[in-house]
């Protein structure tokens, strides 16, 4: 019985010694081992590790997963001295545990505070050299890229690595919104007027070119028509002359018939002549 008690005591001492001398590191953790308050190791893989009992060795563990700092919306002044309210967030994680512990005592809240101040200073600089319309419409991506570049440069001093900086919203105070929208409307209207005036100018130019081409085409067509008509009249005159030369009397008779047809086309036509002496009724008189 006594040997059993001794065995239990020894087993308990061994368990206590193992508890004091062994520690585990999970996949999502980073561990730092101290010896009398001085950092001696921070490069631990996940698993079971040995240390001397406290107070010789102590171990501090940190979460190495991605951290998100969702900052409170903050007001910043633009180059026009107008306020805008910016809502943003930052994603980071511990990269150098020794530096992290030295810079912020391993306190995540303090690291968030320091990182938030870096981003606010950078935002103040970015917004201070831009107008509201640039901030709201076109330059947001460039601003975020500049913020990320600044944060990546400053973060190693805190022992952390910044992965992303995002602006979620940029809100305008009520007194600023209407003036900004009015200015944007005026700008759009100016652009629209410019497009309309250029369109009218192009339309007038096209219309003038079309009128000029129409005039040229009509003139050329009239010229060609007159030339063709002249050629036809010349051929007709030649034909008449040739026919007249073959039988002059028949030609005179045919012309007289054409004149009769033209003169007596309507029953109401009246012609006052002296039939006996008139050349017009030559062929009628010849029939007696």
Query: pLDDT digits over 121-133, tens only?
Result: 998 888 888 877 7
Statement: residue 266 has pLDDT above 60: yes
208 vs 255, more confident: 208
Which residues form the domain of 254? 247-285
**Does 23 share its domain with 46?**
yes
Q: What is the pTM of this model?
A: 0.53
Last residue within a domain, chosen from 172, 202, 230: 172
Answer whether residue 217 is part of any domain: no
- Please report which confidence band the pLDDT of residue 53 belongs to, taking 50, 70 and 90 as the band edges: confident
Q: What is the pLDDT of residues 140-156, one digit of tens each?
A: 888 888 889 999 999 99
Q: Quick one: pLDDT at residue 143? A: 86
- How large is the average pLDDT for residues 250-260? 71
Measured in degrees and rounded to the nearest 5, phi and psi for residue 79 equal -65, -20
CA-wise closest residue to 120 among 161, 71, 170: 71
Q: Give the number of domains in the chain.
A: 3
What's the pLDDT band for 115 if we cut at 50, 70, 90? very high
Q: Which band of pLDDT confidence, cut at 50, 70 and 90, is reported for residue 72? A: confident
Q: Is 207 contained in some domain? A: no
Residue 171 bridge partners (DSSP):
85
Residue of 176, 115, 170, 114 whose CA lies nearest to 141: 170
Q: Is the pLDDT of residue 226 over 70?
A: yes
Element (H, E) at 147: helix 140-154
pLDDT of residue 162: 92
Does some domain include residue 31? Answer: yes
Q: Which residue has the higher pLDDT, 189 or 25?
A: 189
User: Is it the case that residue 54 has pLDDT exceeding 80?
Assistant: no
Residue 224 has pLDDT above 80, yes or no: yes
Where does a domain end: 172, 196, 217?
Answer: 172
Residues 166 and 103 in one domain: yes
H or E stretch covering 50: strand 47-50
Say yes or no: 113 and 148 in one domain.
yes
Query: What are the two backbone dihedrals, phi and then psi, of residue 163, each rounded to the nearest 5 degrees?
Result: -100, -35
194 part of a folded domain = no
pLDDT at site 138: 66
pLDDT at residue 59, as a whole number: 79
For residue 100, tell me if it sits in a domain.
Answer: yes
Find the helix or strand (DSSP H, E) in which 165 lies: strand 160-171
Distance in angstroms (rounded) separating the CA atoms of residues 2 and 227: 145
135 and 86, same structural domain? yes
Q: Which residue in 170, 154, 174 sits closest to 162, CA to CA?
A: 154
Query: Which CATH number is 109's domain given?
Result: 3.30.479.30
Domain final position from 35, 63, 91: 63
**90 pLDDT band (50/70/90 cuts)?**
very high
pLDDT category of residue 63 using cuts at 50, 70 and 90: confident
72 and 167 together in one domain:
yes
pLDDT of residue 283: 61
**Would you state the pLDDT for residue 14?**
55
Q: How far apart are CA 277 and CA 287, in angstroms?
A: 15
Instruction: Output b/e per residue, 47-63; b: 16+ Cβ within 10 A.
Output: eebebeeeeebbbebbe
Q: Is residue 178 part of a domain?
A: no
In this structure, is residue 134 part of a structural domain?
A: yes
Residues 6+ apart with CB under 8 A from 166: 88, 89, 90, 144
- Compute how many other C-beta atoms are within 10 angstroms of the C-beta atom of residue 179: 13
Residue 176 confidence (pLDDT): 62
- Give mean pLDDT, residues 219-227: 88
pLDDT, tens digit, 9 for 90 and up, residues 167-218: 888 887 666 666 667 777 888 888 898 889 888 888 888 998 888 898 889 8
Q: How many percent of the chain have pLDDT more than 70? A: 76
Percent residues over pLDDT 90 in the chain: 8
pLDDT surpassing 80 at residue 86? yes
**Whether 21 and 84 share a structural domain:** no
In a domain, residue 274? The reply is yes
């Amino acid at each position: 019985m006594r040997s059993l008690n001794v065995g239990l005591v020894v087993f308990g001492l061994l368990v206590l010694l193992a508890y004091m001398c062994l520690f585990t590191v999970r996949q999502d953790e980073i561990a730092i081992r101290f010896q009398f308050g001085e950092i001696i190791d921070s490069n631990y893989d996940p698993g079971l590790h040995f240390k001397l009992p406290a107070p010789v060795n102590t171990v501090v563990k940190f979460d190495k997963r991605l951290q998100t700092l969702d900052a409170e919306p903050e007001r910043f002044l633009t180059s026009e001295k107008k306020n805008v309210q910016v809502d943003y967030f930052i994603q980071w994680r511990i990269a150098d545990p020794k530096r992290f512990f030295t810079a912020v005592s391993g306190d995540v809240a303090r690291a968030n505070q320091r990182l938030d101040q870096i981003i606010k200073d950078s935002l103040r600089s970015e917004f201070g050299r831009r107008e509201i319309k640039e901030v709201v419409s076109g330059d947001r991506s460039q601003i975020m890229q500049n913020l990320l570049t600044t944060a990546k440069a400053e973060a190693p001093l805190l022992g952390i690595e910044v992965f992303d900086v995002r602006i979620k919203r940029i809100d305008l105070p009520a007194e600023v919104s209407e003036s900004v929208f009015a200015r944007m409307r005026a700008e759009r209207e100016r652009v629209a007027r410019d497009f309309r005036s250029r369109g009218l100018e192009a339309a007038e130019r096209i219309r003038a070119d079309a009128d000029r081409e129409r005039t040229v085409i009509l003139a050329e067509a009239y010229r060609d028509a007159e030339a063709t008509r002249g050629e036809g009249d010349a051929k007709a005159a030649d034909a008449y002359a040739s026919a007249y030369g073959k039988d002059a009397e028949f030609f005179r008779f045919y012309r007289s018939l054409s004149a009769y047809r033209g003169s007596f086309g309507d029953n109401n036509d009246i012609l006052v002549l002296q039939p006996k002496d008139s050349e017009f009724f030559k062929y009628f008189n010849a029939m007696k």
